[in-house]
Structure 1
């Protein structure tokens, strides 16, 4: 062989070398591809864990899965507690496609198979699989399918659904990558749920504190309405209202807040709601069996949170969502029940505090009444006796007349103080007595005068009074004061009631301009007729200095 002859290899060794080089190149390509997919998995995991709000986390998981395996369509279905799908977050379909399809999947066919048996499903053709339920009209065509469950704390939370990969079908590597993403997604979902629950608990706690402070510091009559309004915002419900059971087993809507009235009435009429309220059992319902509401809309999920009231009765907070909206969670039921019970407890505390304040007020009134009786009246009485002794020493004359006027004023003051003592010391007693009824009328009618009308009692009024006389006396005083307010132009008026064993005399005196020449005296005529029927007397004295109406009625034998 000369130096110029070319160096050649035998064909067989050369072929083996080419195969080895090609194999190395292929392995290097696979390594690079695997590295790229692992990097994509890392990016997908980083995207999944970079958010904390649950809705954002769920959509990010679906988007990351589609990008990871090069799928055209993807979705994440959240499994409802009773089976089926509670949420369906989809990626890849246009708004026009979604509109043509109509309602989203509910968990049938292949989707339901993955719910029933949470094991990965990988097939090359959806239509060829016996478990497929087909597609609704307007649904875009889909071929290969990959489904992987997402587990949160050993419980299947939902499933990842992927279709139409760029390579034509899903590989074992695709399945393993999506499984790895699903495992990491489970942790991200768990953290997002814990974060959402933590924020929700904080919101419920703040609302409960504000509700308690509002009830304790405001009107209890508005407590139910405020309870409903606050719960509505926290639950994201269309209607929240308070119901109370009636004696005929029906439910009365005590407060509807900003609730939809048609929904409230439909829920209150539902047997499931009545049963939950009567049994004091916190309940969640998927819907109502009562059918459409008055405005032909269907009620969606319902939540019933019963609570006890101070008087031994019960009530319940009822929340209703629109049809098609996700149901209430067990967490929401727990929080709403605690919130309603907090409201009931606040009402009890408010009632107890009101009773305590009322008791303190009654004690203070009793103390004032005692002081008036034991000190003021005694001092006035002593002053009157002293003036009378001076009068007897002075003898007849102008000074004596002035002393007599002062003594009369003291007697009038003593009578008015005794009336005030009665009102103070008996404010917690029966309001059916003649004294109380007269006090109310003088306050209501005579209170509109420039100087409010006064009322005084003398003698055993409530002892000798009788229902046969009370209505006539009340009518007399009301008519007399009404005339004073409307026609007399008086600054003030006084009502005096004097009782003896035989008769009761009532007078209404004003400082007005008198009756004048008016002929409209039908009211006075009615009073005169009442007196005649009772065997009594009615008298009118009027001048430009004022008017005095007097009624004298004999006490019936039953009143003696």
Structure 2
């Protein structure tokens, strides 16, 4: 060993740096001072510490803290650079949580921080406020003077930067810079290993989620596969809100079938036009969309437009291709959180593709089962029409006859007439059931009755039971678009509200057209008390009713539960 320091560790002015002297002292231990040995021991220990963990989060935190200790800085931070050359993450040590909360928004990569991003060369300043690139500090930020910034290279790319401030010795020396540079260089390998490990773990979780969806599809009991898709996505992606929207039969709108996370209750069962939504663009092109800020997109996501979540990073993935699109899977994080990466989008897109294939297989299996059931359904419908309804008519006529003989003054006559009314309602419900039995499940619901039944079917998995449905009046003939679409949407959203009654075990839907007045009533037995505070969905329904000279009312059912009534004028 020659005893000469590595040329790469010489200072830029050709003078022997302080670190060179420290290395010379290690070569000749007799000349080394205890502080010099201690600093080098600290460097070796720091490198060993950050290299001993495969958790990327822990590696970055240990690197930040080790850099602060080695350099004698009071404050240290690590900024991870995103693909669009901004800071996607900002870890810091030395500032307490209360001060961080007072400062508010974390740096985005401007001023001196941005200078290191644009030109990844170490910066060392005696007083950072003297540098023209300094943009100052936000309110409540602690004062900072000396500054040292060092880039972190992972393989051939700049992964991020270390930022150190307020040296305990008044200013950072060349030795401090060299020590931190050596630490950052060693950390590159540790970060690379941690990233590979993290991506492998994430890939394994997405593959397991795909297996869960496939397993659920072929299970005779358990959760709805769409719910599994949404639940597993929010667990893996670290999103604040995940929703599954499916294309409606008219192929001009999408309906939120499942939503989990912040504001999910205000999304469930809502319908949106394809023409002015981000989901529509994704379905039309068949290509996923990823953005750092959902609010900045030309076509804003529905989460931002209706105010259920202040949407920042977002991914919208197609379920199926452009020719056979079923809907979209959306992942959103709050504004200010770290953005999604291309790796995350790629893995989520793979999961969405697997989920789409699984749903197609399930559709084929369901179609086969419906074909088998069709003959039995038609037989049951004939029996109901030819026998049950005729018998109920006979019973009703007999009761009417008895009531007439009793006279109007006999209290039993009124009771008999009430029972006759009950029979009439039962007959209307049976007729609706007969219509549903005759409907060919292989064809999309074109008529209003079929669309109403399909809307109810769509909410059954979330409810956990099937509501009864009764339709009265010539709704097929008298109601055109757009009132028919509004009626179907109203049923969806009112049943979506029933989902919020956690202990509801029964519900009834009645659609009645009386002259020019259309009334939709949804009754449930949920014990949750009536609240004057309406969700965004109910507020929109109320406004829609007012535009048609009607109203939406919520009241308590005398027998327990909630009665929601939407009544409008039909043109």
Aligned to 1:439: 383
Aligned position for 2:47: 45
Query: Across the two proteins, how many residue pairs are aligned to each other?
Result: 376
Q: Indicate the SS of the match to 1:217.
A: coil
Rounded Cα–Cα distance in structure 2 between residues aligned with 1:108 and 1:74:
17
Question: Cα distance, 1:159 vs. partner?
Answer: 0.4
Per the alignment, residue 288 of structure 1 pairs with: 294
Distance 1:515 1:114, change over 3 A: closer
Alpha-carbon spacing, 1:313–1:49, altered in 2? closer, same or farther (3 Å): closer
Kept in 1, the 8 Å contact 2:56–2:191? The answer is yes
Q: 2-side partners of 1:441 and 1:73: how far apart?
A: 81
Q: What aligned pairs does 1:382-401 form with structure 2 within 5 A after superposition? A: none
The answer to whether residue 315 in structure 2 is matched with residue 303 in structure 1 is yes
Q: Which residue of 1 aligns with 2:349?
A: 337
Counterpart for residue 123 of structure 2: 121
Mapping 1:146-545, distance limit 5 Å: 146-218=148-220, 222-245=224-247, 247=250, 249-257=252-260, 260-261=263-264, 262=266, 271-289=277-295, 290=300, 292=304, 294=306, 297-308=309-320, 312-356=324-368, 361=372, 427=375, 431=378, 437-441=381-385, 445=388, 476=390, 478-480=392-394
In the TM superposition, what whole-angstrom CA distance separates every residue of 1:202-248 from its partner, at most 9, and x where no partner exists? 22222211211112224799322321122112112221111234557
Instruction: Name the structure 2 match of 1:57.
Output: 59
CA distance in 2, matches of 1:438, 1:87: 66
- Name the residue aligned to 2:140: 138
User: 2:253–2:272: 8 Å Cα contact kept in structure 1?
Assistant: no
Q: Distance in 2 between matches of 1:218 and 1:303?
A: 32
Q: Normalising to structure 2: TM-score of the pair?
A: 0.58
Larger Rg, first or second structure (1 or 2): 1
Query: 1:180 offset after TM fit, Å?
Result: 0.9
Cα shift readout 1:444-476 (whole Å, capped 9, x = no counterpart): x4xxxxxxxxxxxxxxxxxxxxxxxxxxxxx64
TM-score (norm 1): 0.59
Q: Secondary structure at the match of 2:350?
A: helix
Structure-1 residue corresponding to 2:74? 72
1:102 is displaced (CA, Å) by 2.1
**Contact kept in structure 2, 1:151 and 1:186, CA below 8 Å:** yes
1:97 equivalent to 2:99? Answer yes
Q: Is the 8 A contact 2:319 2:325 kept in 1?
A: no
State whether residues 41 and 177 of structure 1, in contact with CA within 8 Å, keep that contact through their aligned partners in structure 2: yes
Structure with more contact order per residue of length (Cα contacts < 8 Å, sep ≥ 6): 2
Q: How many Å apart are 1:303 and its aligned residue?
A: 0.9
What is the SS of the residue equivalent to 1:127? Answer: helix
CA contact (8 A) 1:309 1:348 kept: no
Q: Is the 8 A contact 1:263 1:293 kept in 2?
A: no
Deviation per CA, 1:308-347: give whole Å up to 9, x if none. Answer: 2899343110111112111112222122222222222122
Alignment match, 1:19:
none
CA distance in 1, matches of 2:271, 2:71: 49
Provide closer, same or farther for how the CA distance between residues 305 and 135 of structure 1 changes in structure 2, counting only shifts above 3 A: same
Report Cα offsets for 1:384-420 as digits up to 9, x if no partner: xxxxxxxxxxxxxxxxxxxxxxxxxxxxxxxxxxxxx
**Offset from partner CA, 1:365-391 (integer Å, 9 cap, x none):** xxxxxxxxxxxxxxxxxxxxxxxxxxx
Kept in 2, the 8 Å contact 1:310–1:347? The answer is no
User: 1:229 touches 1:258 (CA, 8 Å); kept in 2?
Assistant: no
CA distance in 1, matches of 2:271, 2:47: 47
Residues 309 and 315 of structure 1 are in contact (CA less than 8 Å); yes or no, is this contact kept in structure 2? Answer: no
Q: Secondary structure at the match of 2:229?
A: helix
| CA distance in structure 1 between the partners assigned to 2:285 and 2:149 by the alignment | 43
Give the superposition deviation at 1:353.
3.1
Structure 1 residue 103 displacement after superposition: 1.7
Separation (CA, whole Å) in 2 of partners of 1:202 and 1:345: 19
8 A Cα contact 2:279 2:328, kept in partner: no
Gaps of 5+ in 2: 1-24, 408-412, 421-571
Change (3 A) 1:27 1:129: farther
Looking at structure 2, the residues matched to 236 and 268 of structure 1 have their Cα atoms a distance apart, in angstroms, of 28
CA-based RMSD of the aligned residues comes to 3.8
Q: Does the 8 Å CA contact 1:277/1:304 hold for their aligned counterparts?
A: no
